[in-house]
Amino acid sequence: MSRQTRPPARRAARLLPPAAPQPRGPAPVLWLVLLAAPTAVGANVLVLTLPDIAAAFDTDVRSAAWLATTFAVAMAVGTPLIAGLLRRRGMRTALFLSTALLAAGTALLAVAPWLPLALVGRAAQGAGGAGMVTVAMGLAGTTRRMGALTAGFGALGAAGPLAGAHLSDAVSWRLALAVSALPLLAVPAVLRYARPAPTATDPFDGRGALLLAALASSLALVPVAPAPALGAGAAFLALLAHHVRRRPDGFVPRAVLRSRTFVASCALIALCSVQYFVLLFAVPRLISDRAGWSTPSIGTGQLVALVTGSALTWALTAVAHRASRTAIRLALLAVTAAALTTATLSGSAWLLLVVAGASVCTATSANAALSVHAAHSAPESLRPTAIGLFTLVYQLGGAIGPGIATVLVLG
């Protein structure tokens, strides 16, 4: 064919720049850790900075503590919502929205002159952080890579209280809260591995999303206001169950809920998550009361214990694929029961620190192994939704556990 008779489409194709090469293989796990783990730091930086924040807003510590509750509730509610967006619009859209929320929330916290405005910023940070964690878990894939992700999550979360205190003392509590924005550094690299948007054509289930968000919010507030929160939670649960029966392919798919593996995984991660967050807040007080250690000694000891427990997660999840699901579940239940029993009865500071390390190891190992079980129990098209619902259950432990510790130990 002569140059003059070459088809126009072929001539145009020759003029276009070559397509950018797509990266091969999975996203590097270190980028995924950077995308997800700083959210754990951001969740814990408030532990030792609340007095400074209360003074800045001319209020009491109890009121300032709503910044922690708001963050936990936003993470719990944002997780399934962004997972639903991921399912319908793909990882790129979910990542863009999470980036916008995280950046806007951090900017608002940097200048907020009033506590209510700071709460809005903290809620945006929590929802954006939930999206970053959901995307990272969706890209992890294997149990070993998920173990690296959750180990980093646990290790950096352990450093959160001390990091927040040092940043607050050295510069400002606002800089401590800005740590939650560190995942933004990983977005350009991770974006290259985000899968194309799916071609979902079914209408968005707004009612299902609203009912699930309301149910999660009610459960997260149980430690703060037990009677009204439980009553509202029961009502929203009944409404959601009725809605799922009417729309089985909606925001909470019945095909996911019918999987025994998914339900069992969620029940076990709920137990492991609650015990971890209860002991995270209770162990320092127990060591102080029973062994008489000073606050700096307790902080250092707990940091070492939590980092060690998180490091063990990586080793355990690397071999978890060789064990059966039953063996994994029995091991998690045994360690959880032993940790709670030891914390209740022991007066040894060293044993209590072992309990702290065991609790974070159990929670992060369970998160890594059981999230893979939960995701693979669902049809492939619903796996992002399954991961989102599973992560919601884990995040609820972060909202409920500290409240239980306050009632049983700290109060």
Q: What is the pLDDT of residue 11?
A: 45
List, as one string, the DSSP characters of 332-350: HHHHHHHHHHHHHH---HH
Residue that is written with structure tokens 């145009």 in the block: 12
DSSP structure class, residue 408: I
Name 180's Cβ contacts closer than 8 Å, sequence gap at least 6: 38, 39, 41, 42, 45, 102, 105, 106, 125, 128, 129
Cα dihedral value 342, 306, 103, 111, nearest 10: 80
Rounded Cα–Cα distance for residues 36 and 363 (Å)? 16
Q: What is the pLDDT of residue 236?
A: 94
DSSP structure class, residue 113: -
Rounded Cα–Cα distance for residues 75 and 89 (Å)? 20
**What's the CA angle centered on 262, arms 258 and 264, to 5 degrees?**
105
Q: How many residues does the chain have?
A: 411
DSSP structure class, residue 183: G
pLDDT in tens, 110-140: 999 999 999 999 999 999 998 998 888 778 7
Rounded Cα–Cα distance for residues 97 and 79 (Å)? 12
Residue that is written with structure tokens 């209280």 in the block: 161
Name 228's Cβ contacts closer than 8 Å, sequence gap at least 6: none
Residue 293 has pLDDT above 70, yes or no: yes
Name the band, by pLDDT with cuts 50, 70 and 90, for residue 321. low
Of 119, 150, 140, 136, nearest to 276 by C-alpha is: 150
Q: What is the pLDDT of residue 198?
A: 61
Residue that is written with structure tokens 């299902």 in the block: 208
Distinct helix (H) and strand (E) counts, the chain = 18, 0
For 193, phi then psi, to 5°, come to: -105, 0
Rounded Cα–Cα distance for residues 379 and 249 (Å)? 12
Rounded Cα–Cα distance for residues 76 and 73 (Å)? 5
pLDDT in tens, 221-244: 888 788 999 999 999 999 999 999
Rounded Cα–Cα distance for residues 105 and 405 (Å)? 28
Residue that is written with structure tokens 């399912």 in the block: 87
Q: What is the pLDDT of residue 17?
A: 41
Q: What pTM was computed for the model?
A: 0.75
> Do residues 169 and 115 lie in contact, with contact meaning Cβ atoms separated by under 8 Å?
no
Check residues 267 and 405 and name the one with the higher pLDDT. Answer: 267
Rounded Cα–Cα distance for residues 29 and 153 (Å)? 12
Beta carbons within 10 angstroms of residue 210's beta carbon? 16
Rounded Cα–Cα distance for residues 308 and 29 (Å)? 20
pLDDT in tens, 342-369: 998 888 889 999 998 898 888 888 887 8
Rounded Cα–Cα distance for residues 398 and 401 (Å)? 6
Question: What SS3 state is found at 1?
Answer: coil
DSSP structure class, residue 406: I
Residue 295 has pLDDT above 60, yes or no: yes
pLDDT in tens, 138-178: 787 666 777 777 667 766 777 777 777 778 888 888 998 99
For 37, phi then psi, to 5°, come to: -65, -35
Q: What is the pLDDT of residue 89?
A: 79
Q: What is the mean pLDDT of the chain?
A: 81
Rounded Cα–Cα distance for residues 167 and 303 (Å)? 17
Of 176, 168, 57, nearest to 118 by C-alpha is: 57
